Amino acid sequence: MPSPAWENLDDFISTDDFAVLATVTPHGQAAKQIKVIFDDPYLNAQLGEYEWDGGQSRILGKEGDMIGMTRGDSVFVNGKQYWALTNPKQDGTGMAVLTISEQGVDAAEYA
């Protein structure tokens, strides 16, 4: 049985489609460019009478490209500078998700 085309992660993360180039700088390492899918969904959370509106930016990329990334690392994507708020979360398919926040947030809170 032939493998589906999406099993080739380089085909899935193509800058001809949805992916963009991001520059990531893991602690103690040189900056590198990786292909990612950038997502900034709108969130509306409500707990009792309290309500929060905002976004939670994240990037999806190949797990191997995100090796060495940790909370507090720098990510430059779509013309903006971000902090990594989490370590990359592997999804079991060879991909990983990294939650990021614009660099108005104090990264020391998350490191």
Say what the alpha-carbon torsion angle 93, 99, 36, 8 is, to the nearest 10 degrees.
0
Options 2.30.180, 3.40.50, 2.40.10, 2.60.40; CATH for 5-105 is 2.40.10
Between these two residues, 2 and 77, which has the higher pLDDT value? Answer: 77
pTM reported for the whole predicted model:
0.77
Supply the pLDDT for residue 45.
82
Q: Please, which pLDDT band fits residue 78 given cuts at 50, 70 and 90?
A: very high
Share of the chain above pLDDT 70, in %: 86
Given a contact cutoff of 8 angstroms between Cβ atoms, the answer to whether 39 and 60 are in contact is yes
Domain ranges of the chain: 5-105
Contact assessment for residue 35 and residue 64, using Cβ atoms and an 8 Å cutoff: no
pLDDT tens track for 44-58? 888 888 887 777 899
State residue 107 phi and psi, 5-degree precision: -65, -25
The pLDDT value given to residue 51: 84
